[in-house]
Amino acid sequence: MLCIDEPGYMELDRHGAELLFQVLTEREGTNSVAIASNESFSGWTKTFTEPRLCAAIVDRLTYGGNIIETGTKSYWLARTRAQANAATVANTAAG
């Protein structure tokens, strides 16, 4: 499985986007790809600045795939807060 985390944090030039498209095309139907992003597909034009290439990459990723939307809140921030709250409750109960 190829896992790509937060592709929206950096802008890819045309060559970089073409290489990613090639990798996705070669994996299509044979190998799994997982992408995690806080950016919606409509915002990917900031990363993949060539509109047709951006659309092709999104098509490759979504065709026959599963899209899991978890919302706009950060999972990591929520987990950190929950752990901090649990520690506070444990310390209060112990003290």
pTM over 0.85: no
Per-residue CA distances from 21 to 47, 52, 55, 57 (Å): 13, 11, 10, 6
Domain boundary assignment for the chain: 2-94
CA–CA dist 40, 88 (Å, integer) = 35
Least trusted range by pLDDT, from 6-15, 19-28, 55-64? 6-15
| Architecture, CATH, for domain 2-94 | 3-Layer(aba) Sandwich (3.40)
pLDDT digits (tens, 9 = 90+) for 36-91: 888 888 888 888 888 999 999 999 888 888 888 877 677 778 889 999 988 888 88
Residue 87's pLDDT is 86
What is the maximum span of the chain, computed from C-alpha positions, in angstroms? 61
Report angle CA 60, 11, 59 to the nearest 5 degrees.
10
Q: Counting Cβ atoms within 10 Å, is residue 23 exposed (0-12), middle (13-18) or buried (19+)? A: middle
Query: Residue 34: what are its φ and ψ, rounded to 5°?
Result: -125, 135
Is the predicted pLDDT of residue 23 greater than 90, yes or no? yes
